[in-house]
Amino acid sequence: MFLYKNISLYKVSLAIITIILSAIIISCSEESDPVAPQEDHFEAIGVVLYNSGIELASILRGETNDTLHAPLGEISDHFEVKFYNEDETIIDPPGTEHQTLSWEIADTSVAEVWQHPGEEGGFEFHLKGKKVGTTTLELFVLHEGHRDFRSGLFPVKVVE
């Protein structure tokens, strides 16, 4: 009952089965692309900025009373980034090379972030004022392309 009745029918069947099996094999080979890893996410609820051990500003649960200042046309003091964990204890930044600092400035014509050459992505930065005005800065911990953490908005003021 299951036997093919003639050779032409056999050829047609074989061709179709070959095509579909080929499609399956091709599609299966595309499935080997690994899923982005999840491990070692960094968890925090706030940021503290220091300069030589002196606290300059902090933001906790997205709220801050501090404003960062950047001199016009010049590089600001050094900002060292630390974090608050869920117990509001200050912790060091993540230590792996896969987790880096990134940021967004709302109006990049007012100010920009500057890092020392060779230290890009590290948890230290300076601000550089480009024109007098105000904008906001949000800091992120970037991990394999994902944002593990976002700080909320720091006001930034550029003065002469």
Partner 1 sequence: MLKSNIRRFRFIFTVYCALMISLFSVMNIYGMNYRTLEVNFSGIIIDLESNEPVEGAAVHILENDLFSTSDKNGKFNFSEIEEMIYSVEISHVAYKTKKITIDLSDQRDRAIIIYLEPKTIEISQIVVSTEKPRTLFEDMEESSNVLKGRELEKALGYNLAATLKNETGLAIRSMGPAPARPVIRGLGGDRVVISEDGGKTVDLSATSADHAVTVETFSVERIEVLRGPQVLLHSPTTIGGIVNVVRNEIPTERQNNITGNIGGYWETANSGLLGSGVVTVPVKNFSFRGEFSHRHAGDISTPIGTLKNSYSDNLNMSAGAGYIYDFGVLGFSYRNYELDYGVPGGFVGAHPGGVDIEMIRKQFNGKFIYNFESGLFENLEADFSRVYYRHKEFEASGNIGAEFRILDYLGRVQLNHRQIGFLTSGSTGISAEYRDFNIGGLVFTTPAKLLNLSAFLFEHFTTGNFHYEFAARYNIDKIDPLHKIYDDKLGQIKERNFSTYSFSFSTMYQLSEVVHFGANISKSSRVPTIEELFSRGPHLAAYSYEIGNPNLPDESGLGVELFVYHKFSNFFFNFNLFRNDINSYIIPRNTGEKNYQTFLSVYQTSSVDAVLQGFEGQIEYSPYDFFTISANISYTSGKYADNSKNLPQIPPLKSTLELKFSYENFSVSSGLEGASSQRKVDDFEQPTSGYIILNSTAQYSFQSGDLIHNISLNLDNIFNKEYRNHLSRVKSILPEAGRNVRLTYKMFFVL
> Which residues would be at the binding site for partner 1 (CB under 8 A)?
1-2, 5, 9, 12-13, 16-17, 19-20, 23-24, 27-28, 30-31, 35-38, 41, 43-46, 60-62, 86, 142-143, 145-150, 152
List of residues 6+ apart from 147 with CB closer than 8 A: 102, 140, 141
CB-nearer residue toward partner 1: 45 or 56? 45
Smallest separation, CB 115 to partner 1 (Å): 18
CB-nearer residue toward partner 1: 43 or 55? 43
**Residue 130 three-state SS:** coil
Task: Please state, in angstroms and rounded to a whole number, the distance separating the CA atoms of residues 42 and 149.
Answer: 7
128 vs 55, 76, 95, 122, 160, CA distance in Å?
A: 19, 6, 26, 17, 12
CB-nearer residue toward partner 1: 71 or 155? 155
Smallest separation, CB 64 to partner 1 (Å): 12
CB-nearer residue toward partner 1: 45 or 72? 45
According to DSSP, the residues that pair with 142 across neighbouring strands are: 100, 147
